[in-house]
Amino acid sequence: MPRKREHKASAKCWCSPADMGIIGGLRTYRHHEKAGDFLLSEQVKIMTQEEAKEAFGIKLKALREEKDWTQKHLANLLEVNTHHVYLLEAGRAAPSLGMAQALAQVFGVSMDELLEDLRFPRRGA
């Protein structure tokens, strides 16, 4: 009798689940089986502001380097100062909503892809 494969509550599951985004503070994936689709969720760690800025900076730098762009080139595309790109990549500044949208557009990714598992805390929290 074939052994049933276990599903993982992540995008790395064998069935290549669709990412449904964050629902009720949980990253949720739509998994597929012969019996039908079902949802599995995993807890998403709420980061400190500093952790979130650092993680975003790492992601931003990786996206920029993947395109072989300099900070100056990215700054020109975004119509901002090169120092602003540096601050974002260094984790010393958090992107505004408008900046995140502009970054997603210039890199050709969705906001979900850009922000992935980043969970910026609410102000005052």
Q: How many Cα atoms occupy the beta-carbon half-sphere of 99 within 13 Å?
A: 17
Q: What percent of the chain has pLDDT over 90?
A: 43
pLDDT average, residue stretch 65-82 = 97
For residue 28, pLDDT over 80 is answered with: no
Q: Which two tokens stand for residue 65?
A: 């380097």
pLDDT average, residue stretch 33-48 = 67
For residue 74, pLDDT over 70 is answered with: yes
* Amino acid at the residue 76: N
- Which of 15-24, 44-53, 96-105 shows the lowest mean pLDDT across its residues? 15-24
The answer to whether 54 touches 36, Cβ cutoff 8 Å, is: no
User: If we measure between CA atoms, which residue out of 47, 58, 54 comes closest to residue 25?
Assistant: 47
End-to-end CA distance of the chain: 52
All domains of the chain, ordered by start, with CATH? 1-44 (no CATH), 49-115 (1.10.260.40)
**The pTM is what?**
0.64
For residue 22, pLDDT over 70 is answered with: no
